Structure 1
Amino acid sequence: MKCDEEMFAKLYESVFPDLYRYALCILGHPQDAEDAVSEAVTAAYVNIRKLRKREAFKSWIFTILANVCRKRLRAEARERKKAEGSERECVPFEEMDHAAVLDVRRAFAVLTDEEQEIIGLSVFGGYSSREIGRMLDQSDNTIRSRRSRALKKMEVMLR
């Protein structure tokens, strides 16, 4: 796809809030989310010629962001394993002053990485089961089933 800087900026501007919310939900920290979105946008800009249809931009950039988030979570898990035995400090987020928000984050944290990705793409990205299935190379029935189980897990945690 031919794309100049102005067109890319317009496409990006239309999806930025969803990208940031998704990354924040997956990574749990505002600076990490900003870094992940920045990395994904840079990769998208460099590879924009690989995008065939302008209409697929949102799905395409979300897939890039999901991969960036997965990579960061794996790296964080490796670091945690290295630091095993040393105590890890938890700093509360400034914006988490409401108990319900904290409860939802805790329930979300209980989900597996794949469940978090499915819920994040569904809730924050607004993608259908079919679209998520294509992104994750799974059937839409599998996605619906996993989304339903993940939401039930969260519901149990929130009771």
Structure 2
Amino acid sequence: MNISSESGKKISGIMLLLSAAILLSAAVSPVAAADQKYIVMYIVGSDLESYSYAATDNLNDLLTNWKDTQGDLLVFYGGSNKIGWKDSIAVANMRNIADDIADGEIGTDDGYSETKNVLFRINKEISSADALTECLRYADKYAADNGLTDADRYIRLWDHGGG
């Protein structure tokens, strides 16, 4: 079987991401907590978001059923061909997502420009080989800075075919 160099690089990148997720899962695995949950979502929107708003719908369902007293949510999203989702990784917490989704769409507030309802943006493609590692490092820092070190921790890798 002859795999082109570009295909080989993509496969290597995917394998690196999967390996990083497995190796770093201990950093976000459940720990003893006092009824607090900390959910980290890594969303590669792809055409599921650009064509059918699937990630927006999933986040809306989560927010509808979430109580503020349950803990916090940190979302890293990108990788979709739409405003607020391409060319960078948006980093948003529960409050940012709730404010952003008020207009019915994650990523933009007016349909023409990126939402301001983010903590910040990471200037890289979400599918780059080191993006997941960087996001998980920030997720640990966010937990420490926001009193979530004793919370039950969960990571959700959401992508095309894996949502």
TM-score (norm 1): 0.26
**RCO greater where, 1 or 2, for CA within 8 Å and sep 6 or more?**
2
Larger radius of gyration: 1
Higher relative helix content: 1
Greater strand share, structure number: 2
TM-score for the superposition, normalised by structure 2 = 0.26
